[in-house]
Every structure is written in structure tokens, then in C-alpha cells.
Amino acid sequence: MAEMYGKTTGCSKGRGGSMHLFDTGRRFYGGNAIVGGGLPLSIGFALADKLRGDQRVTACFFGDGAVAEGEFHECMNLAALWDLPVLFCCENNLYAMGTALERAQAQTDLALRAESYGMAAWPVDGMDVLAVEQAARRAAEAVRAGGGPHFLELRTYRFRAHSMYDPELYRDKAEVAQWRERDPLDALADQMREAGELSDADFASAAEKVAAQIEESVALARDAPAEPVEDLTKFVYSPEPA
């Protein structure tokens, strides 16, 4: 939250905003404002792990809009060609900002497209939390065991506008309402109630804890120190040599 407020206590020292969060300590190598910009980075990390002999999995998340970018095809090809330990997670929410998938892609089966590059790929119901967990676990274990790159097409939906400036003229409100009936969090809660793993009291308590945590994070961010004016060029220009 401090990052969103531009405060020095943020994971990127307040310089990342909402799109460039970065934390090497957690091996989280940041978001990217460029569509598909994280794909080449994931290839580099996965290649480094392979050359060092580290049994790691690099997970790369991107949307269906990235599939239209040239770097998507280049990275799919290199990952398969070099047998890299990378897990591609494509969140297909049917709209790349305001462009419907079928208006931009001749082949809308994105898992099939990835499979054409010679890697294991399959679609997953992205509205089902347990299905996503199971698919991710299966794919990660396969990648870590030396099975090469894997691709998951997480078929989901974006309930809200792409941004605060998005008038959402490209889809009907009825379509959004229909998809909202499959809200993954509500569906999971219902499954847990039916299994006797969650009571209404448990759910309410968890919601209160989350709300309190958010309020605490906002308060800490607001009170955190801002960057001194003299440090504004720090990390932008290298210091002069001594």
C-alpha cells in the first residue's frame, strides 16, 4: 500500500506506483506497463535457473491481450526450444482492455495456440479456485521435475472496468451480471459451507479481519515518509564516479 502512496517504505521505494511493484526478496520481479513485457523477462530468469541447475519454476502472468504481441510468440518458441522451467499463466478474461478476444484473434483457443509450440498446455476454469489450484500444482510439479515449459489458459472474466477511464461501451451490463453469478470467491465459500468447512460466523470473522488489515495498511502508508526532494533522481541517473 505504501508503494501506491509513493512512500519510501514501499517495496519499490515508492517508485513503482500500481504497475511496477518489485521485490527481489520474494523473487517477485515486478509488473510491467508494456503489454506482454514480462514474457521476455521470464525467459531470462528461467534460462538463468537452468544454467545454474536450480530447481525453480518461473511463473509468468499475462492477459489474453499479450497473445497478440510478437514477443509472445518469440517467448513461446524459445521456452520450448530451450526446454526452460517456466510456467505461463494466461488470464483470459475475454477482453484486452476494450477489445473482445474474437475481434483480435483468429484462433481463440489460446491453450491450443501455445501447444502448437511444442509445450504442454491446457485450459482451466478460471472461475473455480480449486480447479486453478490443482492445475497450477500439477503444472508446477511437472516443470520442476524437468518437464519443460507449461501453459495454463485460465478462462475467467473481469467484473469491473479496465481502469477508471474505461466507459465500458464494448460489453453489455447483462453479460457482466451473468458472469458475476459465478464469482469464484462466492462459489468457493459455498463449497466450503456444504463441506462443513466454513460457517457464516467464520466467513464474517474473516471478512472483518481482511477489512481491518486493509485499513491498517492504508493508515501505515499514509503515515510513511515521503521521498526527500534531493533523492528524486536516485536510481534514475548513476552517481558520478569518485
Domain assignment present for 240: no
Domain assignment present for 180: no
Domain assignment present for 84: yes
Domain assignment present for 194: no
Range of the domain at 125: 32-171
Domain assignment present for 211: no
Domain assignment present for 6: no
pTM of model > 0.75: yes
Domain assignment present for 26: no
Tens-binned pLDDT, residue by residue, of the chain (242 aa): 888 888 888 888 888 877 888 888 888 888 888 899 999 999 999 999 999 999 999 999 999 999 999 999 999 999 999 999 999 999 999 999 999 999 999 999 999 999 999 999 999 999 999 999 999 999 999 999 999 999 999 999 999 999 888 999 999 999 999 999 999 999 999 999 999 999 999 999 999 999 999 999 999 999 999 888 888 788 777 665 44
Residue 80 is part of a domain; what is its CATH number?
A: 3.40.50.970
Query: Is residue 85 within 8 Å of 143, Cβ to Cβ?
Result: yes
- How many distinct structural domains can be found in the chain? 1
